[in-house]
Amino acid sequence: VKGGYDSFMRKEIHEQPTAVADTLRGRFDTRGQLMLDELRIPEAELRSIDKIIVIACGTAAYSGHVAKYAIEHWCRIPVEVELAHEFRYRDPIVGPRTLVVAISQSGETMDTLMAVRHAREQGARVLAICNTHGSTIPRESDAVLYTHAGPEVAVASTKAFLAQVAACYLLGLFLAQLRGTKFPDELRETVAALQALPDKIQRVIDTEPEIEEVARALADEESFLFLGRHVGYPVALEGALKLKEIAYIHAEGFAAGELKHGPIALIEEGQPVFVVVPSPRGRDSLHSKVVSNIQEVRARGARTLVIAEEGDDDVVPFADVIFRVPQTPVLLAPLVSVVPLQIFACALATAKGLDVDQPRNLAKSVTVE
Ligand code: BG6
């Protein structure tokens, strides 16, 4: 059943190029135009949306966090991301021009389902992004965009996360196409780049042995910090979550800009810190700011584990370890930069002799509130 792998999680990490390719397949015409016929929400309504609220839990919520950066940039629609269990208890402002996007691998998470019901009662349109056909959340939503990751068995989500992120990109690109965008060239390039991503994800997976070796060497550590900015921020959060879930190690993700406002006090000799470095071709001076962050934590004794694009030499002087990922447009980077973190967590938990597929105290789908 595990196809020769020692765990479902490792198998599912290896299935990620296919999960993303299958999620993209059939959703573009030959000119690269998106066709999301399955969105049964009338186009006039999609054109008049004035706000998007993403509701989800756990890893699915981090995919929504990535979606916020992409959709706000491409479509100029404000996007809020809310943990589903907080949503209905805060008197959210929801109306007929709000699109609520509920993201769930299982489609059965009770917290997310209750938020969907609340949103619909308030008059919002609800679109589900879901991996499980016929499950409750899509059935109770106005429309559904299925991810085609295939069944995910390991409790800690990997391939479903990549497929959710890909589906969020599809939604953002579709809305931009429908409503017009200030960046038509960028959008065209993004569509082409998205289709090239499965191969790039595979290239990261091919580096698994090097990542595993580093993970084994760090198996006795008690705490890890993860820093990222822009779309690298939710990637940092997801990297930390993976370690907590399956390796039972204290791990925290931060927005790297927040470092100087508190977390830097945690840095002491030997503290391992992962840093997700934005592309040097990105906007503004984010890249150099994050490189400075690596320098700052290293100067205080941290051991730095850096996720950086191929060809980014600026990180070399300050990195104890570099995990390379292929170059991608900035907003698509999470699809490659999260992969080393997944492999790392899986390898570390395996090295500790833990059951990576069935971590203690967790369930694949939490059907109680
Ligand atoms: C959690 C799972 O309880 O539910 C996580 O352990 C998952 O892995 C989260 O991300 C959300 O699940 P779903 O099915 O709604 O995506």
How far is it, in rounded angstroms, from Cα 197 to Cα 14?
A: 14
Q: What is the pLDDT of residue 36?
A: 84
The chain-wide mean pLDDT, for the chain, equals 95
Structure tokens at 94: 């929801």
* Kind of pairing between the strands at 143-146 and 223-228: unpaired
For ligand 1, mutation pick of 83, 141, 157 (most atoms within 8 Å of CB)? 157
Residue to substitute in 105, 361, 362 for testing ligand 1 pocket (most ligand atoms within 8 angstroms of CB)? 105
157 Cα nearest atom in ligand 1: 8
**Active-site residue numbers?**
364
- Residues 6 or more apart whose CB falls under 8 angstroms from that of 339 comprise 13, 16, 201, 204, 205, 325
Read off the pLDDT of residues 221-263 as tens digits, 9 standing for 90 and up: 999 999 999 999 999 999 999 999 999 999 999 999 999 999 9
Q: What is the pLDDT of residue 304?
A: 98
Residue 303 CB neighbours (<10 A): 18
Tell me, what's the ipTM?
0.96
Instruction: List beta partners, residue 104.
Output: 130
Ligand 1 centre distance from Cα of residue 58 (Å): 5
Query: In a 3-state reduction of DSSP, which class is residue 8?
Result: helix
In sequence order, the 6+-apart residues with CB closer than 8 A to the CB of 175 are: 46, 49, 71, 74, 75, 77
- Per-residue pLDDT of 13-35, as tens digits, reads 999 999 999 999 999 988 888 88
- What is the average per-residue pLDDT within 123-130? 96
* CB count in 10 Å sphere of residue 29: 9
Which H or E run includes 54? strand 51-56
Whether the per-residue pLDDT at 47 is higher than 80: the answer is yes
pLDDT at 86: 96
Backbone angles phi, psi at 366, to 5 degrees: -100, 105
Q: Do 135 and 107 touch, CB atoms closer than 8 A?
A: yes
Q: Please name the residue whose Cα sits nearest to atom 9 of ligand 1.
A: 58
Ligand 1 contacts CB of residue 163 (under 6 A): no
Shortest-distance Cα residue to atom 2 of ligand 1: 364
pLDDT at 38: 83
Instruction: Report the separation in Å between the CA atom of 261 and the middle of ligand 1, taken as the mean of its atom positions.
Output: 31
